Chain A
């Protein structure tokens, strides 16, 4: 049988209202000891408020969805970690979902929007149409997006790589590199469409230096494919002395390919990645990278979300954050 609020109150020797306030984390004057005691008794008796009924009554479920395309990369893991941290401190639960892409390339979000959540945090919204998204609401639910690729139909926290990518390439020149190639996934059509900041930053710098851009094009953004692609490129007799890489995963793959060919990092080939995942610290030499301010990005996104939930009609909220060029052993000569 289901335990009622009244039974918990009776056992704890307090009023039903006190139990309700404690379990809903309402900020009123109740001592920490009483709070703890009520929580313990409720847990022991198996009492839990009916959140669905409460959600129907209040219109809020105190849960958010986190929408991510690719979970396997450590960068997305980091984003999940910081989003969950924010959610927890605000008393929210977080559901995770992968974006599903339909045959025509548009997003299938029918399942996502039917979830009982108060809003959706989206990371790197994929290209293509997003039916139902307008004025910060996705089929009526607040949506805040963050990352390198965002849509301006909703609140966003955008990460702009352009200036730092430019700086990174100039840094490679300053340490003596004269043939600086860009290791990049084969998504040029999309890069043109989105005016991709990493690509632009690289192109700007190469132009400034009077060099022709040189691309090592990889089928996707993974480590394993980067190993094969970079290895094949060098084996064909090409000898760039520096590699700027689209992300850390590809840089880690390139690092392995270069070492396997008997070349040294950084003396034969200097390397720079993007994102700043933890693993870059544990390579020898450590990897120079454009570190994303993930924690800050999540904090801002969270603030935007709370404001949008509070008042869905406010004007669109926007923020742009910059990565940080972290110079380490892989590019120091």
Chain B
């Protein structure tokens, strides 16, 4: 997602990444990697729970999930990953953004 950042920026999209780690860990990682997107530490799982991010005992963790929220606050895209590597291609997301009104 980092490499296609310009594509997202040209669509005026903000990317926010919710991480299940502590604020300190997230801050350090963002600094180290020079990540341009917003990082949201969620160690207590508050955001994760609110958005219904799935977790599985036998895989010992949270499954990835991805949402696109339009300017009016409605969900334009929802994907709950069924495995640890189940994440949509950037092209899919860019098409969703292109289909939004007023973007």
B partners with A: no
